[in-house]
Amino acid sequence: MLKASDVEGHAARARSGEEAASAPGPVEFVQGSPADLEDVLTIERLSFAAPWSPQFFLQELADRHSYLFLARLPGELRPVGFICFWLLGPDVHILNIAIHPGFRRRGIGRGLLDFALEYGRARGARQALLEVRRSNDPAIALYEHLGFRLTRVRRAYYMPEQEDALEMRLEF
């Protein structure tokens, strides 16, 4: 499993000039494939109490309206985060986003979400939609940070715990 210390070690060596040629730069966003499934599942399982199954990811990978993008640090093969979204006519529908717990609060989630929004906008989308658990303060803060606004509360949407879902929307 990718450890925060692996990348932090890389960053420290780069700062000292040892790895000047591969010094960390901007995070890269690359399209995911079935070969990335294990790494994506690791992040998924570290991020959610009820994680998506491998079959669920494979189903999305096979759907032509569905996109899986990974966030990778320069020089690293393993992703530190992913986003899955549908592009359906005028809508970007965000289905899932997660950042490895060792790499949160570094702007990677914002970068990945921004990338997905731009990807949709460039292909004719006019708005982005998502649902989020009412208790998920970090995700709600991220979405609000990018301009998403609450449109509807769906009572007891998440079962079996009957947690409310907040529907949020961003118009481009």
For binding to ligand COA (CB under 6 A), which residues are involved? 47, 97-99, 104-110, 132, 136-139, 141-142, 145
Instruction: Return d(Cα 40, Cα 80) in angstroms, integer.
Output: 9
Q: For residues 13 and 24, is the Cβ–Cβ distance under 8 A?
A: no
Please confirm, yes or no, whether 119 is among the known catalytic residues: no
Please confirm, yes or no, whether 118 is among the known catalytic residues: no
Q: Which among 160, 172, 78 is positioned nearest to 129, based on CA atoms?
A: 172
Q: Which residue is nearest to ligand COA (CB)?
A: 109
Which one, 20 or 153, has the nearer CB to ligand COA? 153
C-beta neighbour count of 32 within 10 angstroms? 20
Which one, 70 or 97, has the nearer CB to ligand COA? 97
Which one, 14 or 139, has the nearer CB to ligand COA? 139
- Minimum CB separation of residue 16 from ligand COA in Å reads 26
Two structure tokens written together for 33:
């494939």
- Minimum CB separation of residue 97 from ligand COA in Å reads 5
Cis peptide bond upstream of 74, omega within 30:
no
Relative to beta strand 127-133, strand 91-99 is: parallel
Residues 131, 157, 158, 163: which is the catalytic one? 131
Q: Which residues have a catalytic role annotated?
A: 131, 143
